[in-house]
Amino acid sequence: MWGFLLSNLFHPFPKPLKYFIDVALFFMVVMHGLQLVLLKSTQPKDQPISYWQEAKIFIFGVFELLAWQKKQPPIKKK
């Protein structure tokens, strides 16, 4: 999906489709960035996320976030 949206920047599609793809790219960048910011703000400070993991979450979005969540140990309740 990223490749399709980014290819529009270098080889634009015809006019009506170009604007739709530009909006879709902007929306995708904003939403994936917002996901990452929300995740980082809810993480405890003693368990920082690596930059590689942040990049994967930004690129793959909710799919990588769900896979990452399954790998995390359960939170112990007091």
46: tokens are 């003693």
Q: Is residue 78 part of a domain?
A: no
- The pTM of the full predicted model, rounded to 2 decimals, is 0.74
Reduced to 3 states (helix: H, G, I; strand: E, B; else coil), residue 64 is helix
Q: How many domains in the chain?
A: 1
* Domain membership of residue 52 as a residue range: 2-71
Say how far apart CA 22 and CA 6 lie, in whole Å.
9
Q: Is residue 57 part of a domain?
A: yes
Kindly tell me if the per-residue pLDDT of 38 is higher than 80: yes
pLDDT digits (tens, 9 = 90+) for 6-37: 888 888 888 898 899 899 999 999 999 999 99
Residue 72 has what pLDDT?
A: 77
